[in-house]
Amino acid sequence: MFEWRFRYILSLFFILSLVLGGRVVYLTLNSENVDRADLITVTRTPLSFQKLNSHIDELEEMSKNIDTYTLGEIKDITKKTTYLLNQVGIELKAQHESWSDIQNLFEGDAEKFKQLRVSLDKAQQLNNKELLRIKNVMDQANQRTITEELSGTTLSFVFGVSTSIVASYLIKMFQRRKRKVHNNIT
């Protein structure tokens, strides 16, 4: 019974470790998180600078009263100075790499923007050409020639006269029928 519980708990810890490890890998390798970390690294002042500034006060104090320090204390302060300078170098190198990554990102975005701008200009030119072509077609469709005007006027005159003649004939015919029906009733 104890062995079973122990294996179960061990399995849970193993699964939890895998899940947390996968999450760490995702957060570490996700490009958005990497870019965010680069921005933070570039904009912040290295912590080792602050530590080095406070250590400089200690070095100044030591230089004023060097006689009161033992050789071991001087050796320790020198080691600390060397360590802090190495830390400053590491942080400055990390800042430089982050700056390079951000600069490459900006250059890539600038190139994409240029390509997008060129595509947009081409689309605008095509739209302008299409609009001009449509306008020309519409203008040509709206422009009537002299022969079209004359033929339209002639046709409307002929249609108007023929309609008048047919209307007159129909009126006379209905009047005759009306008289005939009226005479038959009386």
In this structure, the answer to whether residues 1 and 77 fall within a common structural domain is no
User: pLDDT tier at 16 (50, 70, 90 boundaries)?
Assistant: confident
Phi then psi for residue 144, to 5 deg, are -105, 140
Could you tell me what percent of the chain has a pLDDT over 70?
Answer: 95
In this structure, the answer to whether residues 77 and 124 fall within a common structural domain is yes
In this structure, the answer to whether residues 139 and 52 fall within a common structural domain is yes
**For residue 176, is it within any domain?**
no
CB 69 within 8 A of CB 16: no
Name the DSSP class of 45.
P
Domain that holds residue 29: 1-43
Name the DSSP class of 65.
T
**For residue 178, is it within any domain?**
no
CB 74 within 8 A of CB 62: yes
In this structure, the answer to whether residues 58 and 97 fall within a common structural domain is yes
105-147 confidence digits (pLDDT tens): 888 888 888 888 888 888 788 777 787 888 887 777 667 677 7
CB 39 within 8 A of CB 106: no
In this structure, the answer to whether residues 103 and 54 fall within a common structural domain is yes
pTM over 0.75: no
**For residue 124, is it within any domain?**
yes
